[in-house]
Structure 1
Amino acid sequence: MNILQALFFPPEQPGGVSSMIPFMLERFNKRGWEMELFSLPKRVRGKGTEPVQFTTFDWERYAGHPVVDKYIQTYKDYVWWTKLRMNKSFDLIHAHHPIAALVMKQLYPDKPVLMTVHSSYERELILNGKIKESGPEHKFLTSIYRELEARMDQLLTVSNSFKQYLAEYVQEPERIGVIPNGFDEKRFRPVAHENKIPQLITVCRLVPAKGLDTLLLACAELKKKGIPFVLHLIGDGPIRPELEQMAIELNIYEEIIFYGYMLHPEDFMPFFDVFVLPSRAEAFGSVFAEAALCGLALIGTNVGGIPEQIEHGHNGLLVPVGDVASLTSALEKVSSDRIYRYNLGRVAWDKARKSYSMTRVVQQLKNVYRPYRRTE
């Protein structure tokens, strides 16, 4: 059986799809399954010219809005690139982005196409202040879910929480499968270490949706209480200057290390003690599973797919979105008690190893793929 994994952009950074698909492909190929990757290079811009049509709604009623126009042009570019570079046939296509899924079904209508919805682009844009809720861009992006339902052979997503989110926009949500992301146990694993001062780490894109302003305010309260810590902030994004200025004004700049973008944070993530990310939205939150596999204690928000990974007080701590006092209390608890945070991290590792291993996701996907095997 020859399977194509169709991504959006190339898998060049850790987290989410980029962290999972290449290593998943390697596992499948070692077991005798033929599998290849396909994606749109970031340098391809403005090449496609073919008209775009959807079957369940008229996208042109939303034309003229920047997000919509960019989305449609990217769709055209994906069509152009696929026609240019695709030179072989596949038995099954598994797409990991709506554009990749719809383009593949358009160009190969007789091939089964599966789609995993990994995240909510529209929620991210709203939380980052790029579009308005219920505005034309929001309506366009959420209409894509119904289009996917109508044209895909199977829809999957990464958490029960996100399946519930999708239910508002599709007609038969019960048909959506749930397969949480899987992670290579060889890349993410604990390392014995001893830090005199608690080392906190977060890994994310520096955008408002990640709630890093809440984290800095909580860290400032932690410093006022006289609790020592170092926060390692890995990632880059448009609000980095704003966060650095905020750290200066809160008198915690000396306690924070801004690393910028890093290709392989898993190489030294195991040497820290606590992973904290107060996101305002997460479909799954892959980086929590990665941190758990490294043996870190977890602190996250009670939103999206995060509570499906963190059982409060058992393998981590959950706090309400935007609640500085609750986040401060959680940070104080894990920072002040080395044994407590060690136990949280140990239980987090055990759960992640059982629930989010690459072995588990490969087996689940095999069960999804098998019905599409050729019988001849």
Structure 2
Amino acid sequence: MRLLQALFFPPEQPGGVSSMIPYLQDRFNPPHWEMELFSLPKRIRGKGSEPVKFHTFDWHEFEESPIVQKYVQTYRDYLWWTKLRLQRPFDLIHAHHPIVGMAMKEVFPETPVIQSIHSSYERELILNGRIKPDGLEHRFLTSLYRELEHRTDLMLTVSRSFRDYLSPYVNHPEKIGVIPNGFDEKRFKPVPHENEVAQLVTVCRLVPAKGLDTLLEACAELKNRGLPYVLHIIGDGPIRKELEELAQRLGIYNETIFYGYTLHPEEFMPFFDIFVLPSRAEAFGSVFAEAALCSLALVGSDVGGIAEQIENGSNGLLVPPEEPILLADALEKVIGDPDYRYQLARSGSEYAKNHYSLNRVVHELKKVYLQFQPMKE
């Protein structure tokens, strides 16, 4: 079966789908499988020029928005690049971004296309303060879900909660499948260690949606309570300067280390003790599974896919989003009781191995792919 995994970002991008798809190639071996990866290079911008028409709505109603114009141009660019670079036919295409799924079905209308939706661009834009709820951009981006339902042969997403989020925007939400991201256990090597001072770590893009302002406020509360810790923030983004200034105002800058962008944080994540990320929304939250496989205790917000990964008090701790005092209470529990911290970390690791191993996800994907296997002549 000739299979194409079609991404938007090149696979070296950190997080989410890029933490899984490149590792699938070793599991889809000839002679039964031939799998290729495809993505749009960053340098391809402004190349596409053909008219864009959607089947389920008229995008020109939203074209006065620069964000909508940029999105449509990116779709044109992906179409241009696909037609230029892909010549051979495939038996099945698995797309991992809305732009990708629509472009692939436009170029290969006779080829089955499976569409995985890994996150919500519009929800991220709202939480990051870039667009307004029910504004032009929001309505355009949510209209794309019904367009994808119309064009593609099957829709998948990464958590039950995100399927619920998608439900109002499609005609048949019951047909959306759920397959979470999978992780190659060989990438994660827990390291036995004892830190005299608890080491907290978070890994994410530095944007408002991730709730790092709440985390810094919680850490200031920990300091007020006399609890020693170090907070390691791995990642970069548009609000890094704001976060550094907030850490200074809160008096915790000396306890906080900003690393910036790091390509493979899993290589040194095992040396920390507690992973914490109080996101305001999360479709899945791949970094929680990665941290669990590194045997870190997990503390996260009770939202979206995070709440599906963590059973509160069993394999991690959940707190409501935007509640720094409650977050500080949860962190105090795991900082002050190393035995409890170890128990959570061990349970979290076992849960991640059982539910999010790459082998399990590959098994699920193969069952789906074989439904589209071409008939032998």
Equivalent residue for 2:260? 260
- How many Å separate the matches in 2 of 1:374 and 1:102? 22
2:115 counterpart letter in structure 1? M
Alignment partners' CA distance in 1, 2:30 and 2:219: 46
The letter for the 1-side match of 2:306 is I
Structure 1 moving runs of 4+ over 3 Å: none
Q: Deviations over 1:158-178 (max 9, x none)?
A: 000000000010010000000
The CA distance in 2 between the partners of 1:312 and 1:240, in whole Å, is: 30
User: Quick one: distance in 2 between partners of 1:111 and 1:30?
Assistant: 20
Matched, 1:235 2:235: yes
Counterpart residue identity of residue 24, structure 1: L
Q: How does 1:40-55 map to 2 (within 5 A)?
A: 40-55=40-55
One-letter code aligned to 2:127: L
Name the SS for the 1:167 alignment partner: helix
Q: Does 1:130 align with 2:120?
A: no
Q: Could you give the per-residue CA deviations for residues 233-280 of structure 1, whole angstroms, max 9, x where no partner exists?
A: 000000000000111111111111100000000001011110000000
What residue number does 2:139 align with? 139
TM alignment of 1:186-265, pairs within 5 A: 186-265=186-265
TM-score by length of 1: 0.99
In the TM superposition, 1:229-308 aligns within 5 A as: 229-308=229-308
1:104 aligned onto 2:104: yes
3-state SS of 1:111 partner: coil
Distance 1:100 1:177 in 2: 18
Mapped to 2, the partners of 1:304 and 1:130 lie a distance apart of 21
Q: Distance between the aligned counterparts of 1:19 and 1:70, measured in 2?
A: 26
Tell me, in whole angstroms, the C-alpha distance in 2 between the residues paired with 1:15 and 1:9. Answer: 11
Identify if the C-alpha distance between structure 1 residues 201 and 34 changes in structure 2 by more than 3 Å, giving closer, same or farther: same
Q: Secondary structure at the match of 1:335?
A: helix
Q: Where does residue 312 of structure 1 map in the other structure?
A: 312
CA displacement at 1:296 relative to structure 2:
0.6
Partner of 1:340: 340
Matched position secondary structure for 2:325: helix
Distance 1:194 1:283 in 2: 33
Distance 2:328 2:300 in 1: 12
SS in 2 for 1:372: coil
AA aligned opposite 1:68 = V
Gaps of 5+ in 1: none
User: For 1:74-100, what per-residue CA distance to the aligned partner results, in whole angstroms no more than 9, with x for missing partners?
Assistant: 000001111111121110000000000
* Identity across matched positions, percent: 67
Query: Structure 1 residue 94 and structure 2 residue 77: aligned?
Result: no
How far off is 1:293 after superposition? Answer: 0.6
Task: Supply the distance in 2 between the matched residues of 1:184 and 1:30 (Cα, whole angstroms).
Answer: 20
Give ranges in structure 2 of 5+ residues lacking alignment: none
Q: Distance in 1 between the 2:19 and 2:7 partners?
A: 12
Query: Separation in 1 of the partners of 2:29 and 2:85?
Result: 22
Map of 1:164 onto structure 2: 164
What is the number of residues matched between the two proteins?
Answer: 376
CA drift at 1:190: 1.6
Q: CA deviation at 1:31?
A: 7.9
Aligned to 1:19: 19
Task: Find out whether 1:153 has 2:153 as its counterpart.
Answer: yes
- Once the two structures are superposed, residues 354-375 of structure 1 have per-residue CA deviations (whole angstroms, 9 ceiling, x without a partner) of 0000000000000000011122
Alignment deviations for residues 146-167 of structure 1 (CA, whole Å, 9 cap, x no partner): 0011111000000000000000
Q: AA paired with 2:289?
A: A
Contact in 2 for aligned 1:191/1:271 (Cα 8 Å): yes
Normalized against structure 2, the TM-score is what? 0.99
Q: Distance in 2 between matches of 1:76 and 1:30?
A: 33
The answer to whether the 8 Å contact 1:48/1:78 transfers is: yes
Distance across 2 between alignment mates of 1:209 and 1:29 = 39
State the distance in 2 between where 1:365 and 1:170 align: 23
Whether the 8 Å CA contact 1:13–1:264 is kept in 2: the answer is no
Change (3 A) 1:328 1:92: same
Distance 1:261 1:80 in 2: 31
| Structure 1 residue 64: Cα displacement | 1.6
Q: Which one-letter code corresponds to 1:82 in the other structure?
A: T
C-alpha separation in 2, matches of 1:194 and 1:33: 45
Other structure's SS at 2:11 match: coil
Shift of 1:25: 2.2
Give the SS at the match of 1:206. Answer: coil
Deviations 1:317-345 (A, max 9, x none): 00001001110100111111111111000
Counterpart contact for 1:95–1:114, Cα < 8 Å: yes
SS state of the match for residue 70, structure 2? Answer: helix
